[in-house]
Chain A
Amino acid sequence: MKLRTYRAFQAMILAGLGFFLLNRYWAGQLIVYIHQRYVWLVLPAALVLLAIAYTLFNQRPPIRSDEDSFLAVTQAPPGSNWRLLMMLIPLVLGVMIPIAPLGAEAAGSRQVNRTLSFSSDPYLTEKVLALDPGTRSIMEWLWAFDAAVDKRELNDQPVSLEGFVLIREDLPEDQFLVARFVISCCVADATAVGIAVQPPDQESNPTDGWVRITGQMQVITQETKETLLIQATVIQSIEMPEQPYLYQ
């Protein structure tokens, strides 16, 4: 391949990648891939990609070489076709495969943590226990459960939280898990966390999708281990929240 053509393809791929990232940035969709803490870094990265694309395109060697430039490189480096194809992977995956946050399907084959370790720092312990129970997320409930010295103090506290429904075989038939993915850096480190839910009656037992659960927390003993169970009073189907993950 001629170096001129190669440079043009390089520029197109980089520009495509830059515009793809800008598009995801403005659409607020980057949180599907990375922790919201690092989203801002993508903006300069996309601009740098566009600047490199622009420069590569402008610096293509001219079509006709000057008389004295017979020594100049006019051919693309070896393996350039292969390089161009491989560099298209992120763009092709990003554009062709519909954007889908990790949810019930991805959690289906994974272990769902029903306990979560929390800091041993007394200040943080106190802080998590002082959170208004009605606003705690699944992650914060599991933290509070870990932090509480007497787990029973969580009994009968009001619950109002969102998550996706998971039916698990290790739960009694009339119960299900309400779960979320927790991420620290990016979706590569996502872990699913969940709490068992006891629906008010059989009719309101959902089988999939996102739900808002309102009810009361119970600390129960299961096979000699204490665990959390939500006694639900209302189970309401909802759309997937704007921020599908919980961030730690």
Chain B
Amino acid sequence: MMEILSQTTQYLTTLSTIFLGIFIEALPYLLLGILASGILEVFVRREFFLKHLPKNRYLGVIFGSFLGLAFPVCEHGVVPLVRRLYNKGLPASMGISFLLAAPVMNPIVIASTLAAFGFGPVFYGRIGLTLIIAILTGLVFTLQKDGEVVKALSQELLFDCQHCNHEIDQALSFKQKLSQAIVISGEEFFDIGLFFIIGAFLAAALQTFIPQSTLLALGGGPMLSILLMIALAVVLSVCSTVDAFLALSFVANFSTGSILAFLVYGPMIDIKAILMFTRVFKKKTILYLALIPLFLVILATLFINFRLSV
């Protein structure tokens, strides 16, 4: 009895430490995302935003995949931001290419990948594959109507003045607008942040009961190693800004293809991201969002594994 109790306490302590590790490590990036979202909602007009978007939706998808260079957010910050952009009129397909590419296609992640791997196949492969997969997935969604893909935003996440006229909007001082932006950011934290916390908790529970060493010990092989690395990326749910250094520790035991699978799929989809997606997308969209990149990543990295081993 005492042993069961001490074992449970031990599991609980480990679970708590790992959960707080994931939470604290990703929190600054999530906050950056919700602040950007609040500011965008209050300070950027829908008409102004729409005027500057590419008119051609295919071009828009390509443009979306590079938007991360202007909004440097990782996969935790990008979800509230893309939801806000949808509310401003961003086409669903363009938002998806932004959502999938931005966690890698941003200055911080490009720099950290370069620091970890230098100019080489992993660096170019990560950027190239991310762009190709984000664009292809975005193009698939050009076939659907935006309303079928994205959920509407709930009332508390909108700027109070959006129903009133522009004169009143303009009468608000900068300070009042800033307060509004911060209130919306706070609401966003309690909305999307909730799913982030549940996701971090699930990831921590999986880590406590299935340590990564157990996954890694399952071994190699061109296909199995890719699947293992994808599973590891999904379970670990580590932020894309820091995952390059982690991937570095797998280099000697895993093929380039499987390292790339970890570095490309991980930033797009993990447990936290899927849960956060439920606040933005309809169920069917989430399924496609997880499966299309998965299929493409496996295909591309398998090709790389066979190509490099010949």
Contacts and interface: CB of A to CB of B under 8 A. Distances in A.
A121 B106 CA distance: 27
Query: Which interface residue of B10, B212, B239, B249 has the most chain A CB atoms within 10 A?
Result: B249
Given A52-B186, A117-B252, A35 B242 contact: yes
Interface residues on A, range: 35 or more
B262 to A, nearest CB: 11
A55 B183 contact: yes
Contact of B189 (A52, A59, A105): A52
Contacts of A48: 31, 35
A185 B239 contact: yes
A189 B19 CA distance: 12
A237 interface: no
A109 to B, nearest CB: 7
Contacts of A83: 190-191, 194
A113 B212 CA distance: 12
Looking at B14, B154, B155, B253, which has the most chain A CB atoms within 10 Å of its CB? B14
A186 B237 contact: no
A123 B239 CA distance: 29
A19 interface: no
A8 interface: no
Contact of B20 (A33, A38, A113, A191): A33
Contacts of B16: 93-94, 97
B261 interface: no
Main secondary structure, interface of B, reads helix
Contacts of B20: 33, 90, 93-94
Interface string B1-36: 000000000101110111111111101100100010
Interface in B235-258: 236-239, 242-243, 245-246, 248-249, 251-253
B156 interface: yes
Contact of A191 (B31, B182, B212): B212
Given A33-B21, A188-B237, A111 B211 contact: yes
Interface in A83-106: 83-84, 86-87, 89-90, 93-94, 97-102, 105-106
Contacts of A118: 252
A52 B179 CA distance: 9
A64 interface: no
A52 B181 CA distance: 10
Nearest to A113: B213
Contacts of A33: 17, 20-21, 24-25
Q: Which 5 A-B pairs have the closest CB atoms?
A: A117-B252, A187-B21, A111-B213, A186-B21, A186-B25
Given A53-B186, A188-B238, 15 more contacts: A41-B28, A42-B24, A42-B28, A51-B182, A55-B183, A72-B160, A83-B194, A87-B197, A94-B16, A185-B246, A186-B25, A188-B18, A189-B212, A189-B236, A192-B213
14 contacts: A34-B25, A35-B242, A38-B242, A52-B185, A52-B186, A55-B183, A90-B19, A109-B211, A110-B211, A184-B246, A185-B243, A185-B245, A186-B25, A189-B246
Interface of A: 10, 14, 21, 30, 32-35, 38, 41-42, 44-45, 48-49, 51-53, 55-56, 58-59, 72-73, 77, 83-84, 86-87, 89-90, 93-94, 97-102, 105-106, 109-111, 113, 117-120, 146, 182, 184-189, 191-192, 248
